[in-house]
Amino acid sequence: MKKVLIVCGNGLGSSMIVEMNVKAALKEMGKEADVSHTDLTTAKTEQADIFLGSEDIVENLEDGKKNIVKLKNLMDKNELRDALEQNM
């Protein structure tokens, strides 16, 4: 099972909302994943198949090894679903 890690600056508000949206989108798509959220600092030490967050945050995770998905609008469910379809 793939692990999806939602990343935001503090790991509280926006990442928790996006986590719920990711879980709902995956359910609609008929896919399963281990989905959680965290702050940027913690994400640097975490293992995941997909790191997902806003462009300005997740670009700080780029190391050439992580699968980073940058979203322009965290609250756009269509953009989120498209990103998941391309990366799951």
Distance CA 22, CA 18 (A): 6
Q: What digits encode the pLDDT tens for the residues 8-37? A: 887 668 888 999 999 999 999 999 999 999
> For position 62, what pLDDT does the model report?
86
pLDDT at 88: 85
pTM of the model: 0.89
Cβ-proximal residues to 76 (8 Å cutoff; 6+ apart), any chain? none
Per-domain boundaries in the chain? 3-87
Cβ-based neighbours of 15, under 8 Å, separated by 6 or more: 6, 7, 8, 37, 38, 39, 53
State whether CATH 1.10.10.350 applies to domain 3-87: no
